[in-house]
Structure 1
Amino acid sequence: MSALQQLRTMTTIVADTGNIAAIARLKPIDATTNPSLITKALLQPDNHAMLADMMNRHQGDVDAVIDALTIQIGCDILQLIEGRVSTEVDARLSYDTQATINKALDFMAAYDRAGIDSERVLIKMAATWQGIEAARYLETQNIHCNLTLLFGQHQAIACADAGVTLISPFVGRILDWQKRQQNRQNVPASDDMGVQSVKLIYQYYKQHGYKTQVMGASFRSAEQILALAGCDLLTIAPNLIDELAAMDIEVSRQLSPTMSTDMAIMNKVSLTHEQFSQAYQQDKVTQDLLPKGIDGFISARDELAQTLAAIR
């Protein structure tokens, strides 16, 4: 079996793309999107007529159009996969709990009107304290959440305590940060801060029986992915899925609930808002990458908005 086929026996493989053609070809169980991926997919020249039609139908309301396009892409993806799609809330709401809740409810209502089972949708938001608190409420309403832009252990702890369905630690962005800080071109998986962060989170969750699933994300190489074989889920860009499919090597399981319970027990922690904020202030990686990640998603949305405004 190829490396990809072996990996599928240990881990749920998720396609990290908004490209419908790529999803149709790869046939993943689940799919994740974010504003950058959706913008990249929608700004293809052959989508111009569809975007113009959508603008006319919503009378030039750019925000309404972007929300409608987000739901449309989610519905299109769900026609091609068996599992769930992650749909991301506007990143501009990342520090507003109530606005995040309201947008999530709007999205779920739109999916319901489209005939989509709520169990097939994950509402995705940044793992700020406000985002996590929004997810805490939404999960009580049986709306499942995927907390993204996760770089620190304090974020993971708070997400588990809030009972969120899924977290997405950003492995590759942590590695990028490590390379810049340490002035290194190459970092083996054994020393990769992104890989080690996911392993630590996974161990903590399994040792304490949390139902929150861990989905490694934002990978830079097949080596990073294989170093997390056995993680609950891994969301992978199409080019890396293709690379794994072409690899003829033996894949060894790196993570399992049994392995985690055999390791030294980590203390169970519950964080107050103040403790979460203190941990954030002490975490240089999250301090640097979380705001930049949110700004990047806002910029992607702005790019799409500018294109839509130009075709009115």
Structure 2
Amino acid sequence: MSKLEALRKMTIVVADTGDIEAIRAHKPVDATTNPSLILKAASLESSRPLLEKAAEWARSADNGDDLITNACDYLAVSIGREILQIIPGLISTEVDARLSFDTQATISKAKKIIAMYEDAGVSRDRVLIKIASTWEGIEAARMLEQEGIHCNLTLLFNFHQAVACAEAGATLISPFVGRILDWYKANQPGEDFTGANDPGVQSVSRIYNYYKTYGYKTVVMGASFRSTDEVEHLAGCDKLTISPDILAKLDSDAAELPQRLAASEAHTTDERITVNEASFRWAMNEDPMATEKLADGIRRFAADQRLLEQQLGELL
């Protein structure tokens, strides 16, 4: 049995890619996309028909949005629909990162994306709307969940972010393991961050144990992995979204994979807390890693969104 096969027995494996052929090869249960992955997928020759169809749809749409916006939204949903034909589970489709500090605009975009999926015959129960874990994004998720639109709160780096998401009733969170490690390696060079010392692994483990101890239903899905070692130290987490190259490495390794996390053995030293806007903003202010990585993640996704718009603009 490979490590990937062993992992599937204790964790729902999710593919972190928009590459449809990679998803077909690795057979994940769910898949996640973001503007960076959509941009990468759009550059593939196999995606050319989807780009052309997105441009065609955008020209005929009459919904108040401009051509480029409509083309980008259609492309994201089209890639999501293609992926859903391969996987048995859920697809995550991300709201434009430039809306991360606008609750109402995030809600409007989420509803548009869901409507486009439903118009194409895809039930909203198979879609997670990805939203950055800003205070405004979490509030948008709170309202969307109340309307039956399920959310994946992404770019999550801080414990208070995780608690706020759970209290808002978010379906799922995506704590970014590798990006947390990146920050610590850059700011504390020479420290041993391997194995259980990895601060990203520690963050996800803390959140997982807190959720299970206090009965939160929000799913914990570790994301943004830099190595198989990080994945292995979170074996047993609810879900893990993993890039195709790391999936391939796990699939080629036949060594034993011990389970690290289990709901039945969850324990935490954290007292249960309630997070309001003031305590959320203060916790982020006190956490330079989370503040910097959240801002950096939003900027990176926004930059790739603009590149995608440029690419579609040439077609239009």
TM-score (norm 1): 0.96
Q: Which moved more, 1:64-73 or 1:40-49?
A: 40-49
Residue 309 of structure 1 corresponds to 313
| Among candidates 276, 281, 289, match of residue 285 of structure 1 | 289
Residue 259 of structure 1 corresponds to 265
Find out whether 1:201 has 2:207 as its counterpart: yes
1:226-257: per-residue Cα shift (whole Å, max 9, x none)?
00000000000001000000111111110011
Q: Secondary structure of the equivalent of 2:280? A: helix
Q: Secondary structure of the equivalent of 2:121? A: coil
**Contact 2:209-2:268 at 8 Å conserved across structures:** no
Residue 245 of structure 1 corresponds to 251
Q: Quick one: structure 1 residues 65 and 185, their matched pair in 2 at CA, closer, same or farther if it must change by over 3 Å? A: farther
Residue 79 of structure 2 corresponds to 73
**Contact 2:178-2:225 at 8 Å conserved across structures:** yes
Which amino acid is 1:9 matched to?
K
Residue 55 of structure 1 corresponds to 55
Which amino acid is 1:128 matched to?
T
Q: Please list, as runs of the form range in 1=range in 2, the aligned pairs for 1:21-170 lying within 5 A after superposition.
A: 21-48=21-48, 50-59=50-59, 61-170=67-176
Which amino acid is 1:29 matched to?
V
Q: Quick one: structure 1 residues 111 and 52, their matched pair in 2 at CA, closer, same or farther if it must change by over 3 Å? A: closer
Which amino acid is 2:181 matched to?
L
**Contact 1:31-1:85 at 8 Å conserved across structures:** yes
**Contact 1:172-1:220 at 8 Å conserved across structures:** yes
CA distance in 1, matches of 2:56, 2:6: 48
Segments of 5+ residues of structure 1 without an aligned counterpart are: none
Q: Give aligned-pair identity as a percent.
A: 49
CA distance in 1, matches of 2:308, 2:191: 33
Which amino acid is 1:309 matched to?
G
In angstroms, what is the RMSD of aligned CA positions? 1.4
Residue 298 of structure 1 corresponds to 302
After TM superposition, the runs of 4+ consecutive aligned structure 1 residues lying more than 3 A away are 45-50
Q: Which moved more, 1:231-240 or 1:177-186?
A: 177-186
Find out whether 1:275 has 2:279 as its counterpart: yes
Q: Quote the offset at 1:25 in angstroms.
A: 1.2
Q: Quote the offset at 1:53 in angstroms.
A: 4.5
1:20-40: per-residue Cα shift (whole Å, max 9, x none)?
111111111000000000000
CA distance in 1, matches of 2:57, 2:172: 35
Residue 62 of structure 2 corresponds to none
Count of matched residue pairs: 310
Q: Which moved more, 1:135-144 or 1:263-272?
A: 263-272
CA distance in 2, matches of 1:13, 1:170: 16
CA distance in 2, matches of 1:225, 1:56: 41
CA distance in 2, matches of 1:192, 1:200: 12
Which amino acid is 2:54 matched to?
M
Which amino acid is 2:217 matched to?
K
Q: Quote the offset at 1:309 in angstroms.
A: 1.7
Residue 63 of structure 2 corresponds to none
Q: Quote the offset at 1:56 in angstroms.
A: 3.9
CA distance in 1, matches of 2:229, 2:79: 30
CA distance in 1, matches of 2:304, 2:287: 26
Residue 17 of structure 1 corresponds to 17
